[in-house]
Structure 1
């Protein structure tokens, strides 16, 4: 009693310690990841903001190059400035000798015509730009038109007749804040960040001044610093939800606490229910799809049954579904599973309760009938083999068939292993003689005949030298079943699913519309008259909607599963015409 209580309690305590460690590691890792991600975003959008401001600087550079090339003059300034304007630019200005004389747009910007060199607020930084040959940014400052702006001043230098450099003045762009970097701040906001954009108040200062920031205060941000001209800029970001992912911590804690509680409960249940292990052992011996024994369970129980009663007679039968791979290829593995379950259900319903039933793997099943001789089992197994077997697909029932081989112990075998080998030999003997039948083992049969059946339908179809399809031979409703790779390649369909989708699984939809009635009539006239389907020429619809001139040769056969079906081989008409005309002309 103490063990049943103590062990779960110890597991619970150890689990709590483990959960605490996992939560700590997860929290630390998540915090680091959030810092790394935030730093990447700060770097990315810091560089983007730098680029956006640099785009404004390029406007001053463009004006500067015109001034240099035109020896200090700009003709049609308004036209040039108008072409340089964008949504984030408030105005473009010229300041010869540091005095703003030209502004575009002029309306509403009259107050901007000032002497920058001698202005109280702008003089010192403007002189710095002039004397150090460097671009400077100043702001943000309130605009007369409303909002805020940043001034970009680019000093211009010309050469006199003696090739001596002199200061001409400034080319200036006023950038609207936050319009100039709206894309970046919107992206940061969408990604769940609070942000702040700052710049040094002057090129010679280390004090940063906020240019623009989000509504909420940011705590413990990561930052990225970049330089424009001689000004230092900085962007700071922090997640809106903070650096700790509380939701993740709660989820992980909840999941692992639940697991620990479940583990504790399951441990107690396991300790209490030791006596019920046989039940779980049965589950380990059962095939999950069919509900009967799996191979391990079947072999183990068959061994025990024969070993326990070595004097009585047993009949072992092995059976499988004929052309099961074809069912999987045509209908898909889901419907193949339905066929397997249907077969297992019919076995459970047909055979007595003392019969051992198992699925040995794939589509192969085993039956062991205790206290039974060959004569007693023969009629029963023959009846089961002939019993109709079907599976449902899209509301329709499709028939399938089985092959079955059986052998008797101890007449032909001294143990379980040899008994099943004999049954296996009988099974594959019936496979070699047309399938859909039942055969008893007899002396001389070899289980090695498996090797003679080593060709799979897919292997054959993929390597046949020609393009072919299989479809239901029905005048009213033909149905495509299969097309090999060569046909798909010739007609431009990427796979059989695309072929089925674009043709609605109808052969007639592969024929050009104006030829459909004639071609179908021609095919059925030949069939009804008792002749083999002769060569027929028509235009085959390809995947891209174009048509390929083809020659087809079909043969109608009777399939146990699908009734009458057409096997049709296709040849490229033009290719044959060219090839054989060249051959015979030579």
Structure 2
């Protein structure tokens, strides 16, 4: 149940974490846009707008001088053309496209430009001598309205920029929150993965049927003992007649028998003994020889199979053929330990089963011309 919950948490966090990362990227992009808008509004856009105000003011000044008779018509029209080009630059220059981010700014400038365009014929026909005429007054009012509007729009405290600044602060807080959330969820995800990994390793190290150590645990433990050069004796336990019981009584009865054997062997587990299932009907017992002890493990192994077992209302006599090898006395590696114990186990089966045989030295085969091979049996009979 706990493993299932841990896997669900891990799966959920696996989906949530990328979404949070994407959210952070979106928030960072939005923050950059707002920051660029604020920066650009104080730089490029502000410069263009100031230039527009300057040229507009200069045009009004030249218009007033012409109407007063202090300037000629060409100077006034030249300033009109300069103002015209300034409007065109602002409205068509792609470098100040962020002007659209300010509500009404583009519309107001376009409206002013349309007005400037509409008075061209009036300017061409304008005669000097009346500095207070309606056209000059109208140009002045239009200019003053534009100055007030743009000054308000491009101030940092204006409504548009203030919203940008507030949005930027909000985005920063959101990014901080998302970063904290990712750190927290990352920690939870790491914990869930660690817990799941620990649980899976624990499951892998235990035999699913019997609950004792698995073959994986056995291999790891044997390698650790060999690497540390710690002496031990390895017992390979193979059940006698298990295949017949499993085939005739059914796999369910066979599994029950394996559980009974595992329970009996597990009773040997302690400071100096460890029990594992190698697979099928084979078990293993590791006896540590690093500390002297007086218990006869060979006898204890045989005693584990002396008492019959009752399965599904029927009594079954059980026995085992057991071969052993000792490290480093007879074997120098894990593979040699396993081979020698397996060799000894098959030898005891050939000798009538139900016993323990210790591997003592390699089998020596000698062949002479004109003679048959002879074998020196490399075993000592266990009790």
Normalising by structure 1, we get a TM-score of 0.29
The structure that is strand-richer by fraction is 1
Tell which structure's C-alpha radius of gyration is larger. Answer: 2
The structure that is helix-richer by fraction is 2
Which of 1 and 2 has higher RCO (CA within 8 Å, sep 6+)? Answer: 2
Normalising by structure 2, we get a TM-score of 0.44
